[in-house]
Amino acid sequence: MRIIKVTVTPIAIPDVPLANLKGVHQSVFLRSVIELETDTGLVGLGETYGARRTLEGLQKVAAALEGLDPYDLHDLRRRIETALPDGGGINAPTALTDHKLVDVVYSAYEIPCLDLRGKEVGRPLHDLLGGAVRKTIPFGGYLFYKFAKQDLSFGPDIMGEVMTPDVLVEQARTFHAEYGFQSWKLKGGVLEPELEIETMLKLREAFPGHGLRIDPMGAWTVPTALKVVRRLEGVLEYLEDPCKGMEGMAELSAQIDMPLATNLVVVEFEQVIEAARKDAVQIILSDHHYWRGATGAIHLGEICRAAGMGVSMHSNSHLGISLAAMCHVAAATPNLTYACDTHYPWTTKEIVKGGRPVFRDGAVQVPEGPGLGVELDREALAELHALYNQAMVADRNDTDEMLKYRPDFVRKVPRW
């Protein structure tokens, strides 16, 4: 089986103004859909980021993949490294380093290679990743403070303005009624810490026994984070990225018992070792979109086990190909004992046949069909590709978007 054709389709999906430390989501979010066709008539699918640097990286590599054997991931890596020396000369306003770009592009092509293998042998992806230790994958409801949407050109708003603890709890109740989530993550770093503490305490009251987390993305100084920890002791299952950088996390970690999690200070395998040595974090958020694909994410789980750390799973705005891959990775990561993050409730469109997946009690059944177990809905893909061309948004820029809602906004890390 050899690759004979590579198609990368950029798409835009209507989004709503979800707030974070950097600013707020634009009116669309961007994704790239990857199709690898083989000489045996199979098509492998993948979904990853759609911002310019990733998209151009994927496109540069596409031509170099002709003739690739989807079973040879070392060859895939070599081809990508050769096609993207020093970041492939792609300049775009992004935090994605040259080295990470290679990982992201590799991750994006690794999944469709695995999808092809599964399709060829007629086995679900999790079987190729060591087998499923669970078939029901729990997800956490991802809660955001948000503005009421001003620009409705690409799609309607969801839930209007959510800028107080009480309205945030209403958001969680709405998601609970629809998806049945049993745990919750709040994107923090948006309101004063006191209000975010109040929000978490109100969530605890509204959902006794549910897992709770908050992720301010490095918004708090160590003394501020310490105060928050004191108030939320016994309330949170873990605290995600409260402080900036490995040093800030280590300084906080040394003074508290609450586990710290990260998707910001540990994004490379080498950093796992540093984080363990400094005891800076106790839980790492895996993500097959940048931890060297599904196999890399499984390796990360194993390294975390060896380092005595826990594993949880990170998300970004995404659709069903990505969600299916997350389910397979989660199924095959024994020590992934927390509910995975997902932005899915904020997504109104789908590109896989059969539409939106079913969430029962916040969990999704891992697909059992060959490979990823999802099929591409070409009409839906064409519609979202047309939206990409129409929206004229090539990069994510939450900070510029925020200026439309708060003209005096200044991006600052830490903020409090």
Ligand X SMILES: O=C([O-])[C@@H](O)[C@@H](O)[C@H](O)[C@@H](O)C(=O)[O-]
Footprint (CB under 6 A) of ligand X, residues 326-345: 343
Terminal Cα-to-Cα distance of the chain (whole angstroms)? 55
State which of residues 12, 16, 18, 311 lies at the interface with ligand X (CB under 6 A).
Answer: 18
State which of residues 8, 13, 16, 20 lies at the interface with ligand X (CB under 6 A).
Answer: 20
What is the nearest approach in angstroms of ligand X to the Cβ of residue 249? 14
What is the nearest approach in angstroms of Mg ion to the Cβ of residue 278? 19
By CB under 6 A, which span of 2-10, 77-85, 246-254, 310-318 interacts with ligand X?
310-318
Partner touching 262 among ligand X, Mg ion, none, CB below 5 to 8 Å by kind: none
d(CA 229, CA 235): 9
Partner touching 18 among ligand X, Mg ion, none, CB below 5 to 8 Å by kind: ligand X
For residue 234, CA distances in Å to 240, 253, 389 come to: 15, 16, 48
| Phi, psi (deg, nearest 5) at residue 410 | -125, 125
Question: How many other CB atoms are there within 10 angstroms of residue 355's CB atom?
Answer: 12
Q: Which of 219, 218, 143 is nearest to 186 (CA)?
A: 143
By CB under 5 A, which span of 108-116, 131-139, 169-177, 258-266 interacts with Mg ion?
258-266
By CB under 6 A, which span of 4-12, 97-105, 289-297, 309-317 interacts with ligand X?
309-317
Footprint (CB under 5 A) of Mg ion, residues 197-216: 215
d(CA 142, CA 186): 6
For residue 233, give the amino acid letter.
Answer: E
Number of chain residues interacting with ligand X (CB under 6 A): 11
Q: Which residue has the tokens 């994004």?
A: 267
Q: Which residue has the tokens 């004979």?
A: 4
Question: How many other CB atoms are there within 10 angstroms of residue 160's CB atom?
Answer: 12
d(CA 311, CA 244): 20
State which of residues 47, 196, 215, 350 lies at the interface with ligand X (CB under 6 A).
Answer: 215
What is the nearest approach in angstroms of Mg ion to the Cβ of residue 219? 11
Active site residues: 187, 314
Closest to Mg ion by CB, 263 or 342: 263
Closest to Mg ion by CB, 215 or 237: 215
- Residue 217 binding ligand X, by CB under 6 A: yes
Footprint (CB under 6 A) of ligand X, residues 246-275: 263
Closest to Mg ion by CB, 189 or 301: 189
Instruction: Respond yes or no on whether the N-terminal peptide bond of residue 414 is cis (omega within 30° of 0).
Output: yes
Footprint (CB under 6 A) of ligand X, residues 120-159: none
Q: Which residues contact 259 (CB under 8 A, 6 or more apart)?
A: 237, 238, 239, 282, 283, 310
- Residue 286 binding Mg ion, by CB under 5 A: no
Name beta bridge partners: 333.
none
State which of residues 52, 187, 213, 288 lies at the interface with ligand X (CB under 6 A).
Answer: 187
What is the nearest approach in angstroms of ligand X to the Cβ of residue 144? 7
- Both tokens assigned to 25: 């989501």
What is the residue-wise DSSP string for 53-119? Answer: HHHHHHHHHHGGGTT--TT-HHHHHHHHHHHSGGGGG---SSS--HHHHHHHHHHHHHHHHHHHHHH
What is the nearest approach in angstroms of Mg ion to the Cβ of residue 151? 26
What is the nearest approach in angstroms of ligand X to the Cβ of residue 363? 20
Site map 343..382 versus ligand X, x via CB under 6 A? x---------------------------------------
Closest to ligand X by CB, 6 or 344: 344
Closest to ligand X by CB, 51 or 80: 51
For residue 379, CA distances in Å to 119, 352, 385, 392 come to: 22, 10, 10, 21
Name beta bridge partners: 11.
31
| Phi, psi (deg, nearest 5) at residue 29 | -110, 155
List interacting residues with ligand X (CB under 6 A). 18, 20, 187, 215, 217, 263, 314-317, 343
Footprint on this chain of Mg ion (rule: CB under 5 A): 215, 263
